[in-house]
Amino acid sequence: MSRFLAPQFQKLEAYTPGEQPQDMQYIKLNTNESPYPPAPSVVAAMTAGEVELLRLYSDPTAKNLKEKLAGLYGVTPENVFVSNGSDEVLNFAFMAFGSKGVVFPEISYGFYAVYADLYALEAEKIPLKPDFSIAYRDYCGKNKMVVIANPNAPTGMRIPVSEIEEILKTNPDSLVLIDEAYVDFGGESCLPLIGKYDNLLVTRTFSKSRCLAGGRLGYAFASSAIIADLEKIKYSTNPYNINRMTLLLGEKTVEAEEYYQEKCAEIIQTRAWTARQLEELGFTVLPSQTNFLFAKTDKMDGGELYNALKQQGILVRHFSDPKIAQYNRITIGTPEQMARFVEIVHQILAAM
Ligand code: PMP
């Protein structure tokens, strides 16, 4: 730490991203990326001509991408915000809407607590039920910003939209942020509610179901007033927040919807297969509506299994929080990758 860091940041504990080994020698099942490439039309869009155009700034209004997203999801462009990964819109939302305090599940996406600390917001972390589900009543009538990942991470479990509607109704004067990063793998979206509740913000990402984690593209839906607030924050920090290439690739991605629906269906099938194999090996596997599984075995500590897998060239994600340290989060890869994963797990357990 330098002598110059402002006092309020000196104790800030930054978010720890999952490992991103650059040599690619691992089967990488640790950060919930897609195992599939972007659609061929998206890959083909990255031409030398487009790279040459990088000398020009990107469109700060992201007009084309917003129009395409609005068309696909049946809203108007004024209901759409686009960001540099969904982490950026989460950041802006905590900055903009958290001043009355913020409430989120104790076990959820680790960045929520970091953003709360970053902006010195009073944060209430609500325990999950013993079965790892979210008790929606705990979030009703809070009169603070509510943040819920639905489906939740790292559990993979979802709550029904009817329960989110109760949270929205009982917190009419606070923003309710529903993080739908994983919604395309079996979640129930509350997007249809944005016309009904002016306190709802739904965030999404191209990083998981749209095979574009490295492109850094997120988006959000809300009333036009909430979107205008987010734009104000964006224009006060980084107006060209999304680079030209990524904007273009995002537009091409929206046009290739069918390809991505197919890939999601494949991942859902591979997830079911992997869960069955793990259960046959004696694992407890939480019911996942995402592109990952959260699983534990009584035969081995979660951290030990993580290390043993890493030694065999397979990266999964382990969290040291004692409440979930027995578990590992395993991203769903291709059928071949998951067959290899299951084989290695089998060998590790058999060698004990
Ligand atoms: N929300 C949740 C629940 C996530 O797991 C992630 C991915 N780590 C994000 C948001 C952020 O994803 P990105 O910034 O790549 O859009």
- Residue 310 has what pLDDT? 95
**pLDDT of 22 higher than 90:** no
**How does the average pLDDT of the chain come out, rounded?**
97
Domain 12-37+258-350 has CATH 3.90.1150.10: yes
- The finding on whether 207 has its CB within 6 A of some atom of ligand 1 is yes
Fold of 40-255: Aspartate Aminotransferase; domain 2 (3.40.640)
Closest CA to 219 of 42, 61, 31, 89: 89
How many CB atoms are closer than 10 A to CB 212?
A: 23
Q: pLDDT tens across 161-174, in order?
A: 999 999 999 999 99
- Residue 31 has what pLDDT? 96
- The finding on whether 86 has its CB within 6 A of some atom of ligand 1 is yes
pTM of full prediction above 0.85: yes
Sorted by where each begins, the domain ranges of the chain are: 12-37+258-350, 40-255
Q: pLDDT tens across 105-138, in order?
A: 999 999 999 999 999 999 999 999 999 999 999 9
Any idea which residue has 């991103």 for tokens? 20
- Residue 137 has what pLDDT? 98
Burial pattern 288-312, b for ≥16 Cβ within 10 A else e, equals bbbbbbbbbbeebebeebbebbbeb
Query: By the 8 A CB rule, do 195 and 73 touch?
Result: no
**pLDDT of 347 higher than 90:** yes
- Residue 224 has what pLDDT? 98
Q: pLDDT tens across 216-242, in order?
A: 999 999 999 999 999 999 999 999 999
* Residue 81 φ/ψ, nearest 5 degrees: -125, 145
Closest ligand 1 atom to residue 218 Cα is 16
Q: pLDDT tens across 62-110, in order?
A: 999 999 999 999 999 999 999 999 999 999 999 999 999 999 999 999 9
- The finding on whether 109 has its CB within 6 A of some atom of ligand 1 is yes
